[in-house]
Structure 1
C-alpha cells in the first residue's frame, strides 16, 4: 500500500506529464486540436464502406464551396458590382479558386468536347423523332434556316446540315441551370432583379477555425460593395451560402456556451466557496481539482481521438460542477472538525463514499463506450477521465495540502440544515414526498414524445437558412445531400446502370415524386446509346439527305462520312466543363470484402415522395439511397433504445453493489431518489413541450450517478454522530447540488435543441435528487439527534 506521500508524488508526476502533453498538443500543430465538424460526431456506415466513402467525398466536395449571388434591379450595376466583388475576393486569402467570369476557352469547352462526337449524340426527343418521323427533322431545318434570328452560318450548315448538334447542345446546357452568359458572367433574373453567380472553393476545410476567422473580412467586403453600388431606388444585395457559415456559427455558439457555462460555473463556485469557507485555501483546492480533471480529460481524449470535439467541450465545461463534489465533502469535514482536524482521518471518513460514488458514475459513463458512436464515446471518455482525475486529486493531494486545520467557526446555516434533516425523519415526509413526486412524474411521462432528428445537434440561424433558400430559388442550386450511390463491376457497366436509374427517375419526375436530379448520365450517353444514335443519324442522312439538299439548293449534296468514335468518361473528366461535376464520379472503391466497385452518385433534389425513391433500391444491390441525416436520425433512435437498456442495466448493477454493502432494504432507499429524480427530469422536459432524444437519456445516467453520490454520504452516517455529521453532509451535498445546477442547468440556455433539452432534464433531476437524498439516512432515535 502506498503511503500518502508516495501517492502524492505519483499523482504529481502523472499530472506533470499530462501538463507537458497538453503543451505539446496545443503547440505542435498549426491548429488547435479542436474539432468543429458536426459530422465527426456521427458513426460510420460499417455495413457499406463504399457508401461511407461516397458520403465523405460528397460532403467534403460540397462543404468546401461557397456560393454568392450579386443582385440589383439594374443589370449594368449588377455586372459592375459582380466584377468588382470577384476581383476583390482573392485579397481575403480564403479561396483556392474563384469562378466568376467565364473565359472564352471555357465558353468553347462544351463544343470542343461534344462537337467531334456530334453524330452519336441525340436528345431523347431527337431519338424519338428520327426513329419514327425523320422527315420532321428536315422540316425543322428549313423552318430554322429561314428564321432571321437563327444565326446559322454556312460552316455550321456544311458540317451539321440537319442541325442536330445545335439542338443537342441547347438541351444539354439547359440542364446545367437557368443561367445565360452576359459580359462573361453567368446571370439570371428572379423577381424583377438581375443576378450574377459567383462560386469559390475554400483553401481548406469549412471547419477550419482559421478560415472561419476571416469571415468578418468577407462581410466587410460585401458591405463595401453593397454601399458602393446601391442606388436610391435599387439597392444592391450580395447573398451567400455555404457550410462554412453554418460551421462558423456553430463554433461561435459553442465557444459562447463554453464561456457561459464554464465561467458561470466557476463564478458560482468561487462565490459559494468564499461564502461558506471564508478562506482562500478551499477555493484554491477546489480549482485545483477542476483543473486537474479538465487537463486529464482533454489530453487523454486528444491522445485517443486525435481531437476534442467542441460538443464534448460544452459538456466538459459542465463537468466542473461534478468534479468538485469530492472536494466539497472533504473541505466541509475539515470545516466541521475545526482545531480537531486530522487530514488522514478526514480522507478515511469520506473515502468509501467518494470511491463508491466514482464507481457508480463510471458504470454509467463507461457503458457508453460500447456504442459505435464517436460522439458518445468521446463524451463518455472525457467525462470518465475528468471525474477520475478530480477524485485522484482529492485522495492524493488534499491530505497534504489541507493538513492544517481551518479557523474554528460554526457551520453556516447549521440551524436551518438541522431542522431540514429533522423534517425528513418524520414518517409522513419520508413516505408522502417521494410517492407524490413519483406519481406526478409518471403523469409527466405519459406526455413524453421523441424526436431523434440529428439536426437537433446543430443550431441553424434563421438568417443563414433564409439566404440559402433565397439562393436556391434564384439559382436552382441546392445543397441537398440526398443521393443515389450506383455501383458496377466496370466503367461501362456503371454508365449503363446510371442510364437505367436516370430513366426511372425521369418517370418519378413525371409522377411528381421528385423535382429534379443531377447525374453524369445526363452528360455521357452509354456506349450502346451512342451506337444507336450513330445508326439513327446515319439512317437520317441516307433517307433525308437528298430531300434536304434539294429543298435548300445546296451546292454539295448531303452525305454521311463520319466514323464511330465513342465519347468516354475519360474524355468528359479531362474537359473543363466537368469541373463542377467531377465529384459525382468516385471511380473504383473497395467494398467490405475488398472487392473494387466502380461507383458514382446521382444527386436528388426536392424529393416529394420518399417511399417512391426508396422503392427503386429494393432488391438492387447496385443501387443505394443515401440520406445521411435520416440515416443518423434512425441510428439516434436505435441508440436511444440501446442506452435505455444500458441505463436499466447500470441501475441494476449499482443496486446490487449497494445491496451488497448496505442490505436490500437500504439499497432501495439509496437508489429510489435517483430513480424518482430521473423520472421527474424526463417528466418536466416533456411538460415544457420539449421532445426527448438520446441526450435526455444521457442526462439520466448523470442524474443516476450524482443522485447515488448524495445517497451514499447519508447512508455512511454513523448513528452515534448522525445529527452533526448529517448537517455537514447536507451542507456538502447542497453545495454540490448548487454547483451542478449552475453548470448543467446553464445548458438549458443553449441554442442547440439537444443540449437545451439535456440541460432541462439535468436541472430538474438534480434538484429532486438533492431533495430526496435524506431518504438514505437511517432513522435515528430522538436521543441521538442531539448528541
Structure 2
C-alpha cells in the first residue's frame, strides 16, 4: 500500500493535468472493419470539436456590427481561444480573387460547362443582358480582362455554396426572423475536454452577458448564441463530478451511519474506511498504470465500489461483535475466510467478464472494480487480525428479535418455495414487456438549453454540427477530386428531391486538373467562335483575344490559401486503407439528412464511398455486444454454478444461485415496467447482481446445521448491512441524469433487494435441540 500511495502521488503530480479522461469518445471502440473510416472520423472529430461558433444578433444592423466588434475584441483577451475569426481584413476579402482570378480561364460552373459545350452563343447573349442591366455593375476593366463575364458567375456560385452569409462591414452576416446576425468562429487553445479550459467558460458567459446588457435597449435586444463541443463536454464533466459526489459521499455517509449505529465504536469505522481507501487507491493507480487515464465514466461507477468492498469488512466486524469477550481474531478470520474467498472469486468472474467486451470504457470499469475488490479483500485478510485483535465490549446484536423472526420465517417450507415461485412468475411476466434501446446518446445527458441554441444556429446558418458524412476514397489526389465531383452531382439530385438539405464538399471549390483542362479548351473554343461576334455587338476597344496559358490550380495552392480554411479539415490526404494499401481521402459533410436510406444506398453501390455516423455505428455495436454480454452472463452463471455444485452438491448449488437469477430477472422487469429503455448496461448490472448476490448465499451456505442462533443472527446482520451499503451505492445511480446510468441503478437496486430477500434459501435448517435421552 505504501508503494501504491507513492505511485498515486507520482501519477497526480507527474503531469500538469490530472490523469482523468472526460472525452466521451474515449469510451468507444475503434472501427476494426474499416481503418480508413476510423482515421477519417478521428480527424474530423478532432478538427470539429475544437471549434466554437458565435452568432451576435440584433434587430438593428449597426448595433449588431458594434456589438460583434466589441465582443470579438474581448474574446481575444480571455485566453480561451488560440484563433478568432471575426471581422475579415481586406487581404482576406481579396483571397478569393487572388486564388481564382489568375486561373479564371479554366474555372467554370456546371451550367457554364453545359452552355459552352452545346450553345456557346448563349454566353454572348448573357453578356449583352448584363450590360443592359443597370444593377449588374459591369465595368470596362472587367470586360477587358474577362469579356465573356465567366469569372463573375463562377464567384457567384462559390458564394452561394458558402452559406447564407454576405459581407457587412467586414463581418459575415445574415438575416433571420427580422434580426441581423454576425458570425464569429473561434478555435480553442487546447482540447474541448481540457478541464482547465472548461473552467474558463464562466468568464465567457460573463462576457456574453456584459455585451448583451451594454448594447441592448428596451426595443432592440442583443442576443449572443454559441455552440461547440466544449459546452457539452463541460456539462458532462460537471454532471459527472456532481454524480460522483452524490454517489460516493452518499454511500460513505450511509456507511458511516450504519457503522455508528451497529458497532458504536470508532475502530470498526476506521477499519471500514481503511478497506474503502485501499480499494479505491489500488483501483485508481492500477487503472492509470494500464490505461494511462481513468475515465470519469469509470469513476462514476467505481464510486459504487464502496458499497461492495465493505462487505468483507462487515462479516469480520460482525463476527467480532457477536463473539464479545471470547473474540479470537485469527479464528474469526478462519471462520469467514472460505466464504469471503469464494465471494471474491465469484465477484471477479462477474467483473472480469466485462473485459471480453471491446469497449475501452467497460474494460476500464471491469479492471477498476476487480483491482479495488482484491485490495479490499487483502486488507481484511492481512490487516484486520492485527488491527482488530482486541475484543469489543459485550452487548447484544441490534434488532435481535427482528433477526430471529426473519430466520424462523425461512425455516418454514411454505415460505421457502412460495416466495421464490411468486417472485419468479412476476419477474417472467415483466420480462415479456422488455424493450431494448442501444442508442449511444443515452451515455450523455444533453442540456435542453444547449440543444436549443444549436438548433437555432443551424436554422440561421444552414450548417449542421452533426457528424453525418461521406468518406470518399481514390488512388490519387486527382482521382479523388474527379470522384468528389461525381458524388457532388449525385448529392445535388438528393437536395433537389428534398432527401438532403445541404452538404459541404471541397469538390465545389477545386475541380480536378482534367476538368480544368477541359474547361480551358471550352473557353478557348468560345473565344475562337464568339470573339468576333461579341466584338460586333458591344464594340470593344479591341477584339477578344485568347492569350492565356494553362496553369493548373493544385490542391496545394488551394490548401495554402485562406479560402480553404472553413473546409481544409475535410481533405484527409493520404489514408491507410490497410498496411499494404494507401489511398487519398476526403470527407463530405452532410446536413439535414431527410432520407437516410438514399445516402446509404449511394455508399452501398460504390466501393469508394463510405457513410460515416459514429453515433449510429456505435449504437449498432452496442446491440451486438449486448448479445455477447448475454452469452457471457449465461457462461458466467454456468461457471459459478459449477463451482457451487463442486463444493456444495447440486441441490444446494441451485438454492444458492437461484436468489441472484431471480433478482436479475426482477431487476430487468422492474426497469422495463418503469418505462426506462434497456441497454447493454442493464446486462452489466445483471453481472453485478450475480457476483454480489452469490456472496449473500455463500455466507448462509457456510452456516452449519449445528451453528447456534447467535451465529446465524450475526451472519444475517452482516449480510443485511452489506445489502444496505450496496443499495446505497448502486441505488443512488438511479438518481443520475444520464439515462443509461439511471437505468443501470434501477436494475441493480431491485436485483440486490431480491437477492438479499431470497438469500436464506441457501441456509441449512438448524438441527432440533437434543432430548434428555439423547444427552444420556
TM band (smaller chain): over 0.9
Establish whether residue 133 from structure 1 lines up as the match of residue 119 from structure 2.
yes
Q: Does structure 2 retain, via aligned residues, the 8 Å contact 1:681–1:765? A: yes
Pick aligned residue for 1:732 from 711, 718, 723? 718
Q: Name the CA distance, whole Å, in 1 between partners of 2:75 and 2:539.
A: 55
Establish whether residue 559 from structure 1 lines up as the match of residue 545 from structure 2.
yes
Establish whether residue 344 from structure 1 lines up as the match of residue 344 from structure 2.
no
Q: Does structure 2 retain, via aligned residues, the 8 Å contact 1:417–1:730? A: yes
Establish whether residue 288 from structure 1 lines up as the match of residue 274 from structure 2.
yes
Query: Higher mean Cα deviation, 630-639 or 365-374?
Result: 365-374
Pick aligned residue for 1:409 from 395, 405, 420? 395
User: How far off its partner does 1:782 sit?
Assistant: 4.2
Establish whether residue 28 from structure 1 lines up as the match of residue 3 from structure 2.
no
Q: Name the CA distance, whole Å, in 2 between partners of 1:617 and 1:408.
A: 76
Q: Name the CA distance, whole Å, in 1 between partners of 2:766 and 2:321.
A: 24
Q: State the match for 1:86 in structure 2.
A: 72
Residue 237 of structure 2: SS of its match in structure 1?
A: helix
Q: Name the CA distance, whole Å, in 2 between partners of 1:445 and 1:722.
A: 40
Q: Does structure 1 retain, via aligned residues, the 8 Å contact 2:165–2:173? A: yes
Q: Name the CA distance, whole Å, in 2 between partners of 1:722 and 1:662.
A: 21
Q: Name the CA distance, whole Å, in 1 between partners of 2:46 and 2:385.
A: 53
Residue 477 of structure 1: SS of its match in structure 2?
A: coil
Establish whether residue 780 from structure 1 lines up as the match of residue 771 from structure 2.
no
Structure-2-length-normalised TM-score: 0.98
User: Kindly tell me: are residues 416 and 782 of structure 1, through their superposed partners in 2, closer, same or farther at Cα, counting changes over 3 Å?
Assistant: farther
Q: Name the CA distance, whole Å, in 1 between partners of 2:538 and 2:292.
A: 73
Q: State the match for 1:98 in structure 2.
A: 84
Q: State the match for 2:258 in structure 1.
A: 272
1:685-696 superposed matches below 5 A = 685-696=671-682
Q: State the match for 2:597 in structure 1.
A: 611
Q: Name the CA distance, whole Å, in 2 between partners of 1:464 and 1:619.
A: 37
Aligned-residue RMSD, C-alpha: 1.2
Q: State the match for 2:364 in structure 1.
A: 378
Q: State the match for 1:6 in structure 2.
A: none
Q: 5+ unaligned residues in a row in structure 2: which ranges?
A: none
Q: Name the CA distance, whole Å, in 1 between partners of 2:715 and 2:486.
A: 73
Q: State the match for 1:255 in structure 2.
A: 241
Establish whether residue 163 from structure 1 lines up as the match of residue 149 from structure 2.
yes
User: How far off its partner does 1:137 sit?
Assistant: 1.3
Q: Deviations over 1:218-251 (max 9, x none)?
A: 0000000000000101111100000000000000
Structure-1-length-normalised TM-score: 0.97
Establish whether residue 598 from structure 1 lines up as the match of residue 584 from structure 2.
yes
Q: Name the CA distance, whole Å, in 2 between partners of 1:779 and 1:403.
A: 32
1:637-716 superposed matches below 5 A = 637-716=623-702
Q: Does structure 1 retain, via aligned residues, the 8 Å contact 2:307–2:722? A: yes
Establish whether residue 152 from structure 1 lines up as the match of residue 138 from structure 2.
yes
Residue 583 of structure 2: SS of its match in structure 1?
A: strand
Query: Higher mean Cα deviation, 675-684 or 601-610?
Result: 601-610
Q: Name the CA distance, whole Å, in 2 between partners of 1:621 and 1:724.
A: 74
Q: State the match for 2:571 in structure 1.
A: 585
Residue 589 of structure 1: SS of its match in structure 2?
A: strand
1:29-44 superposed matches below 5 A = 29-44=15-30
Q: Name the CA distance, whole Å, in 2 between partners of 1:406 and 1:346.
A: 13
Q: Name the CA distance, whole Å, in 1 between partners of 2:709 and 2:680.
A: 41
Establish whether residue 173 from structure 1 lines up as the match of residue 152 from structure 2.
no
Establish whether residue 192 from structure 1 lines up as the match of residue 178 from structure 2.
yes
Q: Name the CA distance, whole Å, in 2 between partners of 1:412 and 1:730.
A: 11
User: How far off its partner does 1:572 sit?
Assistant: 0.4
Q: Deviations over 1:14-36 (max 9, x none)?
A: x1111000001111111000000
Q: 5+ unaligned residues in a row in structure 1: which ranges?
A: 1-14
Establish whether residue 217 from structure 1 lines up as the match of residue 203 from structure 2.
yes
Q: Does structure 1 retain, via aligned residues, the 8 Å contact 2:443–2:739? A: yes
Q: Does structure 2 retain, via aligned residues, the 8 Å contact 1:721–1:784? A: no
Query: Higher mean Cα deviation, 18-27 or 487-496?
Result: 487-496
Residue 599 of structure 1: SS of its match in structure 2?
A: strand
Residue 617 of structure 1: SS of its match in structure 2?
A: helix
Q: State the match for 2:34 in structure 1.
A: 48
User: How far off its partner does 1:52 sit?
Assistant: 1.0
User: How far off its partner does 1:619 sit?
Assistant: 5.2
Q: Does structure 2 retain, via aligned residues, the 8 Å contact 1:47–1:592? A: no
Q: Deviations over 1:675-708 (max 9, x none)?
A: 0000000000000011100000000000001100
Q: Name the CA distance, whole Å, in 1 between partners of 2:43 and 2:456.
A: 26
Q: Name the CA distance, whole Å, in 2 between partners of 1:500 and 1:535.
A: 20
User: How far off its partner does 1:55 sit?
Assistant: 0.5
Q: Name the CA distance, whole Å, in 1 between partners of 2:540 and 2:472.
A: 48
Q: State the match for 2:43 in structure 1.
A: 57
Query: Higher mean Cα deviation, 148-157 or 323-332?
Result: 148-157
Q: Name the CA distance, whole Å, in 2 between partners of 1:84 and 1:511.
A: 43
Q: Name the CA distance, whole Å, in 2 between partners of 1:373 and 1:620.
A: 30
User: Kindly tell me: are residues 723 and 477 of structure 1, through their superposed partners in 2, closer, same or farther at Cα, counting changes over 3 Å?
Assistant: same
User: How far off its partner does 1:289 sit?
Assistant: 0.4
Q: State the match for 1:119 in structure 2.
A: 105
Residue 45 of structure 1: SS of its match in structure 2?
A: coil
User: How far off its partner does 1:775 sit?
Assistant: 0.4
Q: Name the CA distance, whole Å, in 1 between partners of 2:474 and 2:153.
A: 32
User: How far off its partner does 1:780 sit?
Assistant: 2.3
Query: Higher mean Cα deviation, 117-126 or 62-71?
Result: 117-126
Q: Deviations over 1:36-91 (max 9, x none)?
A: 00000000012222211111110010000000000010111111000000000011
User: How far off its partner does 1:513 sit?
Assistant: 2.0
Query: Higher mean Cα deviation, 70-79 or 45-54?
Result: 45-54
Q: Name the CA distance, whole Å, in 2 between partners of 1:109 and 1:495.
A: 22
Q: Does structure 2 retain, via aligned residues, the 8 Å contact 1:723–1:784? A: no
Q: Does structure 1 retain, via aligned residues, the 8 Å contact 2:707–2:766? A: no
Q: State the match for 1:12 in structure 2.
A: none
